[in-house]
Every structure is written in C-alpha cells, then in structure tokens.
Amino acid sequence: MDSGTRSPRRQPAISYSLALAGLAALAAFLPGRADAIPAYARRYDTKCETCHFPMPPRLNNTGILFRRSGFRLPDADDKGNLTLNAVPAHSIGEAASVVANFAGRFDQVVNPGESKSTMEFGEVVLLAGTAVGEHLSAQTTFIPHTEEGTVELEGAEFQANYGKPGGQWSIRGGLIEPNLWQKGTHGTITLAGNLALSDASSVPVGSFPGFAIGHNQVGMEGGYTYTRLHNGKSCTTMLSAAVLNGVDETGDPASRNTTDGADVYFQAIQLFGARNTAGAFYYKGRTLIDPLGLLLPPGPFRDHFSRYGVMGNYVFLDRLDLEAAFADGKDHSDEINGNVVSRGAFAQADFQIRDRWVADYRRDYYDPDRGVGDDLIRAHTVSTTYQADDNLFFTVEYNQINEAGTLSHGFIGNVRFVY
C-alpha cells in the first residue's frame, strides 16, 4: 500500500473526499444505456444473436471482431477461410438506431428537494456506424436528450483497417471509446454500471474529481488484430496502443490536452471460443488542476495517475456467463502532495433463463483510497431483463450499496425501446 506523504490539507479533505466518492458511486449506479444496434442486424440480414450473448448490448466474439473490423461481419468462404463482409449504409436511416429509456425508480437516498420515488425519461441515443468502402469506417453516438435534458456528442470516430481478414492493422481517431473490452462498460446488461470500470470516478483527489477509465476520450489508437479460423472456431488476439487527451480538471474528457504530454493507454485482449475473453490494460495520464489559480493555496497543480487491471469472462454450459475485472490505480497529486492508491473489482454472473430472458447478479468492491480505513464501497446488484422482441426490453433491478458501513438501496423498473 502506498499512500505517500500527505499534506495537512489532505486529512481534513478526507470526509469531503468520501462524500464525493459516495456521490460518484451513486452516479455510477444511474441507469445506463443500450448499445444494441438493430440497424446492423437489418443491414446484414441477421439476428441479434449473431453478435450478442446473452443479450444485447453485450457483444460476443463475433460482435467484438465485427466492430474491430470496421463493421465488417466475420464469415467464411466455402473452404473455411475467414472473410469479412461489408454491407455499407447508404443513408443515416440504414446506419442509425435509436435507443430510448423510460424508468420508474425508488431510491432510499436522494438529493435534497427530490422525491424518493420518481419516473425518469432517460437518455435518447442515436447510434450509427458503417463500413465505408474497402478500408474505412465511421461511428457516431449522439445523445439529443441526456438524463439531464442536455445534448451530448458521446462518440464520433473514424477508423481505417488494412491487411488481410486474419491479420489487420487498424487506426482510429476522434472522440473514441478507448476500451476494447466492453463487457464491463458499454456492454453491461444491468442498468447500473460496475464501479471498477465506471465512467464516473469514485476517487476524488484533492480538488480533482478523479479519473475514470470508462470515459470516451479524444485521441488516436493504433492496433493489430490477429484471427485464426479453423472449422468454425475462431481465436482472436487484439493489441492496441492509444494516445489520448485524457480528462480535464472536472474529470470530463478534455477537448484539448491540458498538459505537456498526452495520456497513453495499452491493451491486450484475447478472444477464444464463441464468447470467452481475457485481457489486460495499462493507462498512464495526467491533468492540470486549477489552471487559473483560483483555489487556496492557488494552483495550478498536476495530477499524475495510472490505472492497470485484468479482466475476462467465460461462458459455462451455454447459459451462464461469468465475468470479472480487477483494476488498481494510483494518483500522485501536487495539490495534496501525496499519493492516493485505489483498487476496484467486480464479479458478475449472467444466467440465460431462456432465450431473451436473463437474470444477473453482480458484486462490486471499491476502495477509493487504500490509505484511508473504513471507506470501502461494496455493492450488490440483482437484475433481470426480458427482451420482448428485437426492439423492446423490460428490466427490473435492485441495487444495494454499502458505503463505509452506510447502507442505501434502490429499485428500478426500466423499459427500453431500441430500433
């Protein structure tokens, strides 16, 4: 454990940090959104199950390779050699899907002035992606209505793939989702995201709300994808290195780099069998806090942080998908003149009760600052989702969060329309 030397400011800031951590933990448990894209199924004349298991939006290995190949569907010729089929979209209508959420929820703990029970009209998301010509592809995630009623461009990336289907070099850039392993981020089946790979930080460091590995970011990524296909069994290795702008002092993705150097992100993912994965990542970044010198004592301060972890999943008996991730992190802050070491992990089981009906359980563990005792955040999430048809999902979910011994819980009933 490395908590480093702490400044006098650090100790009084602990309770404030814990409060922020709690809010961040709650924020992480807000309803997420689906990334299932029926537009792809329509265009490729295939079913959701081709790319998703046990249910959209989680991708199986065909879906992961489809995305990595620039929206080109892995297939085989008559001799069993791997091919990639592209069906380009000719219009936004062919490329885009719309996702809309409506939820009723009850929370034990809410902000002042808010009712514990409420109905929410969640995000409306437009997702679109297509192969362009032989080598290029484009993807956009546009949110005309966020949960806060604002407009957000969540992702806009362009990608080029070169090489043979079995060995592809790729480069992509824009406002990208850097994480290749999306089972714990955009591919989560539960409404609530996990804490370890969340896009909402649970690690406030001084005035900095903290870095979250799940964020989309502005940057570029280069990678190599090697796939072997033999008698219908594929095995894929994905390597990637990215240079990213990182986050600004608010913890949000920076539209411009705020420091002298860029953040770097390295990932290695192995896909084996139809749905199993294993991988590791390492992220190193920095940001500038209080660039205008408005705090006391005045900044600017630098925060250097690193995150690394391992993750994977394995499907048993064709029905039970077990996934787990472990992520460690360290922040070195000029502001507090010390280090904050964090650690998070989750284990999740998704059981396919029958086709289109899934039950999930996840256990979250997060220690936002290993140098501080009694600040553990632990959570149980129990959820079940029924996919009424290709376009309609019903979810009922219960979350219990134990934050430093204080229990809170919430129930959510959610209807999601996807077209």
The answer to whether 147 touches 33, Cβ cutoff 8 Å, is no
Shortest distance, CB of residue 139 to another protein, whole angstroms?
8
2 or 318: whose CB is closer to another protein? 318
Shortest distance, CB of residue 76 to another protein, whole angstroms?
4
Q: Across the strands, what pairs with 174?
A: 157, 219
78 or 260: whose CB is closer to another protein? 78
**In what helix (H) or strand (E) does residue 85 lie, and over which residues does it extend?**
strand 82-86
Joined tokens for residue 276: 């199993």
152 or 328: whose CB is closer to another protein? 152
Shortest distance, CB of residue 26 to another protein, whole angstroms?
24
Q: How far apart are CA 81 and CA 262, in angstroms?
A: 40
Backbone angles phi, psi at 22, to 5 degrees: -60, -45
Shortest distance, CB of residue 415 to another protein, whole angstroms?
25
16 or 226: whose CB is closer to another protein? 226
Q: How far apart are CA 339 and CA 303, in angstroms?
A: 10
Q: How far apart are CA 72 and CA 136, in angstroms?
A: 10
- Residues, the chain, total? 419
Shortest distance, CB of residue 384 to another protein, whole angstroms?
23
Residue 18: helix, strand or coil by DSSP? helix
Taking every pair of C-alpha atoms in the chain, what is the biggest distance, in angstroms? 70
Shortest distance, CB of residue 161 to another protein, whole angstroms?
14
Report the chain's terminal Cα–Cα distance, integer Å: 48
Shortest distance, CB of residue 81 to another protein, whole angstroms?
8
The answer to whether 331 touches 201, Cβ cutoff 8 Å, is no
113 or 232: whose CB is closer to another protein? 232
Nearest to 247 by CA among 191, 186, 308, 331: 331
145 or 363: whose CB is closer to another protein? 145
Number of other residues whose CB lies within 10 A of the CB of residue 378: 18
131 or 412: whose CB is closer to another protein? 131
Residues that bind another protein (CB under 8 A): 44-47, 49-50, 60-62, 65, 74-80, 82, 85-92, 95-96, 126, 128, 130-134, 136, 138-140, 142, 144, 150-153, 156, 158, 227, 229, 231-234, 255, 273-275
| 310 conformational bin, left if phi > 0, alpha if psi -120 to 50, beta if neither | beta
Pair type for strands 72-76 and 167-176: unpaired
80 or 261: whose CB is closer to another protein? 80
Residue 48: helix, strand or coil by DSSP? helix
Tell me the residue ranges of DSSP E strands in 108-216.
Answer: 117-132, 136-145, 152-164, 167-176
Shortest distance, CB of residue 332 to another protein, whole angstroms?
28
